[in-house]
Structure 1
Amino acid sequence: MEPRPIEPAAPEEFGLTQVWWGDGKGKTTAALGMGMRAAGHGYRVHVLQFMKGGTASVEDVRGEYNAIAALPGYSYENSGHYGWHRFHDGTDDDEHAARARGGFERARDLVDAAGEADLSSPLPLEAPADDGVHMLILDEICYAGNRGLVDPDDVRDLVESKPEDLELVLTGGHERPEFVTAVADLVTNVRKEAHPLESGHSARKGTEY
């Protein structure tokens, strides 16, 4: 089957808030995959990552960044520190908090920009996210909220103030993000039954980054 050209289009039923949390692997993977699906239909998608990192074995340039850059209408930016908060990786708590707060302000700007755009119409696929998007993925914002790096009440207020037609996807955290689950339309708990890290495997190129 020949792929159809990706042309700008507008979703007919976007506007829900999704929350993906839990101690299992796959929260970001699911959100990015859903973004790929939306972009394949010609919808404008943007990912704002609050933090992604972990250990020295994980490279700065992740496979998903290359894939997103190659897909029309799909874009990303990373506002967080490279390394997990309190991972004993030498990073400073204040720096983590400052970057997370900066990320939240950026998220607020993106939500406001979506409110000023006509989300019922197609959006230019190569236009900046500041001109509005149909789907906004805030990766690891729940983790940042659970850790107090951003104010959980501010995250809830952001959800409640989003434009009606914006599909908002929030991920992250091992603890249930009570501050947003009550105002979300979809809540998925990604549970761990087994993880290769427990048997000595490190993060693998092509599956974890």
Structure 2
Amino acid sequence: MSDRDTRHKQSMQKLKAHVDKKVAKAQEQRGLLLVFTGNGKGKTTAAWGTVTRALGYGYKVGVVQFIKGLWECGERERLIDDANLDVQIMATGFTWDTQNRDTDTAACLAVWHEAKRMLADSSVYLVVLDEITYMLKFGYLDIVTVKQALQNRPAEQTVIVTGRNAHRELIDMADTVTEMQEVRHAFNHGVQARRGIDY
């Protein structure tokens, strides 16, 4: 065996020992709070990927879309017929299009009512609150109300929160926080969002 092969084997043995130790230490079983935030592309896509994973195991999943509900969504179109999937959408679409605070607040509160129902249902394994960060930022929902619902949810239920500028208190209470960072985005260079790729 060459020196390079020997060094590689030793390195992999150390890595395996490190990973095995972490796996052995992870004993707690419970639902998680995941936050996908940042200014980069892929937060909602990552959430839908997890939805697909959970549905693949036969779990019940709830998705609440606070911003993009009226927009086409390839993942939603593909999965909507799954009996284990419950999707609720905010009926106003993009808030920057409506430009009506009262209408947007009412629409947000209506769909939040559905979100609270999901968050209280122990049979729902995964709940996605897609783009809820904007609802907090614009003041349509208050952080105390959202935190209360998250803290009181069933112990086995996982929740994914998506959106830019996640509230600091959501980040503080999360088990896992992933920040998507934009390095370059085609849209900023005049390229239209592409069906089947961006939505």
Short-chain TM bin: 0.7 to 0.9
Letter in 2 for 1:39: L
Q: TM-score, normalised by structure 2?
A: 0.79
Task: Calculate the aligned-residue CA RMSD, in Å.
Answer: 2.0
User: 2: CA distance between counterparts of 1:38 and 1:110?
Assistant: 15
Report if aligned partners of 2:98, 2:104 keep a CA contact under 8 Å in 1. Answer: no
**Deviation digits for residues 183-204 of structure 1, max 9, x if unmatched?**
1111111111111111001221
Q: 5 Å matches for 1:29-178? A: 29-52=45-68, 60-83=71-94, 85=95, 87=96, 89-114=97-122, 132-173=123-164, 175-178=165-168
User: 2: CA distance between counterparts of 1:51 and 1:32?
Assistant: 15
User: 1: CA distance between counterparts of 2:66 and 2:166?
Assistant: 18
Q: Which structure is larger by alpha-carbon Rg, 1 or 2?
A: 2
Aligned residue pair count: 172
Report if aligned partners of 2:88, 2:111 keep a CA contact under 8 Å in 1. Answer: no
Letter in 1 for 2:184: A
- 1:14 deviates by 4.7
**Deviation digits for residues 66-88 of structure 1, max 9, x if unmatched?**
111244523312124212x2x2x
**Deviation digits for residues 91-116 of structure 1, max 9, x if unmatched?**
412211111122222211221223xx
**Deviation digits for residues 102-159 of structure 1, max 9, x if unmatched?**
2222211221223xxxxxxxxxxxxxxxxx3111111111221122121112111121
- Alignment equivalent of 1:206, drawn from 166, 184, 196: 196
Residue matched to 2:44:
28
More helix by percentage: 2
Q: What SS does the corresponding residue of 1:113 show, helix, strand or coil?
A: coil
User: 1: CA distance between counterparts of 2:148 and 2:129?
Assistant: 14
Question: Against the structure 1 CA distance between its residues 46 and 136, is the aligned structure 2 distance closer, same or farther, given a 3 Å change threshold?
Answer: same
Letter in 2 for 1:136: V
User: 1: CA distance between counterparts of 2:129 and 2:110?
Assistant: 13
Unaligned runs of 5+ in 1: 1-11, 54-58, 115-131
1:197 aligns with 2:190: no
Question: Against the structure 1 CA distance between its residues 81 and 14, is the aligned structure 2 distance closer, same or farther, given a 3 Å change threshold?
Answer: farther
Q: TM-score, normalised by structure 1?
A: 0.75
Unaligned runs of 5+ in 2: 1-27
